[in-house]
Homo-oligomer: A and B are copies of this chain.
Amino acid sequence: MTIEEAIKSSIPLKPHTRTTLNIMYSSRLVEEKIAELLKPYKVSMQQYNVLRILRGQKGIPANLSTIQERMINKMSNTTRLVDKLIEKKLADRTICESNRRKVEIIITPKGLELLLEIDPLMAKCNEDILKLFSLQELNTLNNLLDKLK
List residues of chain B with CB within 8 A of the CB of A74.
28
Interface residue count on the A side (C-beta < 8 Å) = 57
The answer to whether A25 touches B72 (Cβ under 8 A) is: yes
Q: In the complex, A70 Cα to B8 Cα: how many Å?
A: 6
What DSSP secondary structure best describes chain A's contact surface?
A: helix
Is A44 interfacial (CB-CB < 8 Å)?
A: no
Given A24-B27, A138-B15, verify A133-B146 contact (CB < 8 Å). no
* A1-60 interface with B by 8 A CB criterion: 1-3, 5-11, 14-31, 34, 56
- Chain B's closest residue to A53 (CB) is B7
Q: How far is the CB of A34 from chain B (nearest CB, A)?
A: 7
Q: In the complex, A121 Cα to B15 Cα: how many Å?
A: 16
- Chain B's closest residue to A1 (CB) is B149
10 A-B pairs with least C-beta separation: A27-B27, A1-B149, A16-B126, A22-B145, A141-B144, A15-B138, A26-B145, A16-B127, A20-B126, A17-B126
